[in-house]
Amino acid sequence: MAKTIYLGNPNLKRQNVEIDYTQEQIEEFIKCRDNPSYFIKNYIHIVNLDEGLIKFDLYPFQEELVKTLYTTRFTIVKCPRQSGKSQTSLAFMLHYVLFNDQRQVAILANKSATSRELLGRLQMAYERLPYFLQQGVMEWNKGSIVLENGSRIMAGSTSSSSIRGYSFNLIFLDEFAFVQQGMAEDFFRSVYPTISSGKDSKVIIVSTPNGMNHFYKMWSDAVDGRNTYKPFEINWWDVPGRDSAWKEETINNTSEEQFKQEFECEFLGSAGTLISPAKLHALVIKDPLHTKDNLKVYEETIENHAYFIAVDVAEGRGQDYSSMSVIDITNLPFRQVATYKSNEISPLLFPNYIMQVAMAYNDATCIVESNGPGAEVANILHYDLEYDNTINESGVYNKLGRKMTSRIKGIGCSNLKDLLEHDKLVVNDMATISELSMFVTKGKSWAAEGGGHDDMVMGLVMFSWVATQPEFKELTDMELRLKLYANKIHEIEEDLTPFGFIDSGDDSDDYVVEGGEVWQVSHESMRF
């Protein structure tokens, strides 16, 4: 016995062990090889919370998922919590490496510990396979397994660095909606070429929604046919035992909003977002025309158009991001035509990049948020590079850029809400929309939820504040304050309509509402 087991584990067959297969075992082996659902239902064991170790008796939707994974190269799965999506995928991957030689598989999650836990579940299932279905084990640890048929499974985090240098036949991305936005983009940009190089390579993406991020875009593109992923949706009622009574109990123990996101799989932003949920859902994420050095270009420069660049500066140490939004301010609606976001660029180098982009967009007017390292960037841009087309502190000698104060932030947030919700600003950038879906009320202010990032949003907040200042009118010959104020007047009138206005029949601008109160329209210049 000792000669057949791997490192003293009686549940694992070591390599180079000869087995005299019976005719029945040969027939079973062929059945399992040709039918992954048969293999899973008859030979895979899982841990059930109520019953302990049991055979994996696939639900109908799980069996359909296995068929999809077996026949499809690229699959994206939107699913509710606790629907067995990960376990089903792991069982399929075990079949994949057992019955295919020289297959390299990566199990990736938001954290390495999570991916190793998933690998541990797969290893548990492997240990309960009969010897005639096992491949001999060559390597077996918490981070990887290697089988004698040349197949390998490794666990890591969803980052470009964790699997760089490897080539994979199958990559499994678990709870991909919870991977940080920048990390998700970097991952696909650096890793995807190694995936697509193989003719039969597979990518499996599964997740419960978590706001409007990279997973949201990939799912939407799959549904609309803009990518080659096959969308597979699991509904909460597909899981046996989940009915209306279960739904009511779950909502009572959590919240209706949480149920909508985690079980009805709606792509909701956080609760209490600056921008209304209806408007967030109406925003359309688009692919840039091209991307270079973290600059995403959505529209090329148009001759004689006026452009504005809002800049937010970080320290460039791999934490917060330095960012900028290039906005076409020629006409309404304003349009975000290019974006930049990086957490690696140094404040000493950023001014050169800002100026390059500004000059490319018709010598765009720039505003640099001067809190922290932003002051240094504003100084280099103005004095060292001699780029004069900037907006600086008014009435303060030698003060460049614009410091973000609580007053400016408050006005900017209010104006940004008006611009977006009244379709006077078009935003298509995925990182920006993702941040907007997590930009929530915090006390008397607004900030990213849960320690997330709001670098792109804060650039738009600064722009939205400038857009109602006198200097902006000089740039565009547009009195935006009056346009936004007109919207507010219209909303007030709509709200008051049920109470009714009484027309006296004269031509005065006085309105009498119920109760006899008289409202008069002021003809003075309207300001916020």
Backbone angles phi, psi at 257, to 5 degrees: -65, -40
Contacts for 306 with CB less than 8 Å, ≥ 6 apart? 328, 329, 330, 362, 364, 365, 475, 476
The pLDDT, as a whole number, for residue 474 is 73
Position 524 pLDDT exceeds 90 = no
The pLDDT, as a whole number, for residue 400 is 79
Residue 388 and residue 506 in one domain: no
The pLDDT, as a whole number, for residue 161 is 58
CA 400 to chain centroid:
34
Name the domain count of the chain.
Answer: 4
The pLDDT, as a whole number, for residue 487 is 60
| pLDDT tens-place string over residues 243-260 | 999 999 999 998 888 888
CA–CA separation, 184 and 176 (whole Å): 8
SS3 47: strand
Q: Counting beta carbons within 10 angstroms of the beta carbon of residue 91, is it exposed (0 to 12), middle (13 to 18) or buried (19 or more)?
A: buried
Average pLDDT, the chain: 84
Percent of all residues in the chain with a pLDDT value above 90, rounded to a whole number: 49
Nearest to 259 by CA among 248, 269, 270: 248
Q: Are the C-beta atoms of residues 433 and 286 closer than 8 Å to each other? A: no
User: Do the domain assignments include residue 525?
Assistant: no
The pLDDT, as a whole number, for residue 51 is 81
Residue 246 and residue 227 in one domain: no
Position 11 pLDDT exceeds 70 = yes
CA 124 to chain centroid:
32
**What's the number of CA atoms in the CB half-sphere (13 Å) around residue 454?**
22
**What's the number of CA atoms in the CB half-sphere (13 Å) around residue 363?**
6
Nearest to 184 by CA among 155, 218, 153: 218
User: Do the domain assignments include residue 527?
Assistant: no
What number is the average pLDDT over the span 410-435? 92
Q: Counting beta carbons within 10 angstroms of the beta carbon of residue 18, is it exposed (0 to 12), middle (13 to 18) or buried (19 or more)?
A: exposed
**What's the number of CA atoms in the CB half-sphere (13 Å) around residue 140?**
22
User: Do the domain assignments include residue 514?
Assistant: yes
Residue 375 and residue 418 in one domain: yes
**Rg (Cα) of the chain, in Å, rounded?**
29
Percent of all residues in the chain with a pLDDT value above 70, rounded to a whole number: 82
Here the CATH number for the domain that contains residue 352 is 3.30.420.240
SS3 511: strand
User: Do the domain assignments include residue 274?
Assistant: no
The pLDDT, as a whole number, for residue 329 is 93
| pLDDT tens-place string over residues 256-284 | 888 888 899 888 766 678 888 888 888 88
Residue 73 and residue 179 in one domain: yes
Position 494 pLDDT exceeds 60 = no
| pLDDT tens-place string over residues 102-145 | 999 999 988 889 999 999 999 999 999 999 999 999 999 999 99
Neighbours of 158 (CB within 10 A): 28
The pLDDT, as a whole number, for residue 8 is 87
Q: Are the C-beta atoms of residues 361 and 452 closer than 8 Å to each other? A: no
CA–CA separation, 49 and 95 (whole Å): 24
Q: Are the C-beta atoms of residues 169 and 149 closer than 8 Å to each other? A: no
Both structure tokens of 265: 């799989």
**48-61 burial: b if 16+ Cβ within 10 Å, else e:** eeeeeeeebebbeb
Position 81 pLDDT exceeds 60 = yes
Position 307 pLDDT exceeds 80 = yes
| Domain span holding position 227 | 5-234
In this structure, which amino acid lies at residue 105? V
Residue 34 and residue 171 in one domain: yes
Residue 223 and residue 88 in one domain: yes
User: Do the domain assignments include residue 275?
Assistant: no
User: Do the domain assignments include residue 526?
Assistant: no
Q: DSSP code of 2?
A: T
Residue 90 and residue 209 in one domain: yes
Residue 219 and residue 255 in one domain: no
Residues in the chain: 528
Neighbours of 202 (CB within 10 A): 22
The pLDDT, as a whole number, for residue 157 is 81
Residue 514 and residue 385 in one domain: no
| pLDDT tens-place string over residues 332-368 | 899 999 999 988 888 899 999 999 999 999 999 999 9
SS3 189: helix
The pLDDT, as a whole number, for residue 516 is 47
CA–CA separation, 100 and 34 (whole Å): 11
User: Cis before residue 351, ω within 30 degrees of 0?
Assistant: no
| pLDDT tens-place string over residues 175-192 | 988 887 667 777 776 666
Residue 77 and residue 107 in one domain: yes
Contacts for 43 with CB less than 8 Å, ≥ 6 apart? 32, 128, 129, 130, 133
User: Do the domain assignments include residue 120?
Assistant: yes
Whether residue 299 lies in the annotated active site:
no
Contacts for 516 with CB less than 8 Å, ≥ 6 apart? none
User: Do the domain assignments include residue 351?
Assistant: yes
The pLDDT, as a whole number, for residue 198 is 67
Q: Of residues 212 and 390, which shows the higher confidence score?
A: 390
End-of-domain residue from the set 210, 234, 258: 234
Residue 318 and residue 447 in one domain: yes
Catalytic residue among 63, 64, 117, 175, which?
175
Here the CATH number for the domain that contains residue 217 is 3.40.50.300
What number is the average pLDDT over the span 456-471? 89
Both structure tokens of 260: 């909508």
| pLDDT tens-place string over residues 31-75 | 999 999 999 999 999 988 778 889 999 999 999 999 999 999 999
| pLDDT tens-place string over residues 142-158 | 999 999 999 999 998 87
Residue 222 and residue 133 in one domain: yes
